[in-house]
Amino acid sequence: MTPIDHTRRFEGTVSLVTGSSRGIGFAIARRIVDEGGAVVLTGRKQDALDAAIAELGDAASAVAGRADDADHRAAVFAHITERHGGLDHLVNNTGINPVYGPIVDIDAEAARKILEVNVVATLDWTRAALAAGLSRSVVNIASVAGLGASPGIAFYGISKAALINLTAQLAYELAPGIRVNAVAPAVIKTAFARALYEGHEAEAAAAYPLARLGEPADVAGPVAFLLSDDAAWITGQTVAIDGGAGIRPLT
């Protein structure tokens, strides 16, 4: 086996990272670029994508649109084909959580929208990537909310539990050619998760044995590993990135 250059694991490769104008998605895109890869970003706002591209440089490009819009997906893969000719890696990072509160009170339309974006669109992006010649790996961004009860964000947790199972199903069906894995972060300091820690960060951090909340870079590193050939014999797995929360004593 040819030795892996761990500083240039993505040299000569093309990755698509959805929902990547900021936060976790942007950190993943930056890690790929830092390791020599080309990356295509997506997001809803063109100005945010422009700012991301300005920071990442010529190795990055972007297409704006909604994750659950089929026309947007078609435009993204047309761009990838024209600019790069093919695709090696896909990171399904886009997710929404528009509602908080008890699950019995959730609006049915909101519940459907969460599933549409967090689960169905992930499947649609993966299928479109395969049709466009995806050749190596997929990483889905799930959540620890999908691993157990998640008061206040329960339906978001349900969608992420479905995403974790979707990861396993895709890994089974696409092996041996394509590896499919997921990561399940706990609270990461992003605008998306701000409601979970803003104004009480010290209290929120105290729940973690590592005594702090996660940063986007804490997710980008494990994702880069799972995408890369360092993880060549890993598929169908979901890696919790939780600051040790999962090892807390039950009593």
Residue numbers annotated as active site:
156
Residue 101 to residue 227: CA distance in whole angstroms: 35
User: For residue 38, which phi and psi values (nearest 5 degrees)?
Assistant: -95, 145
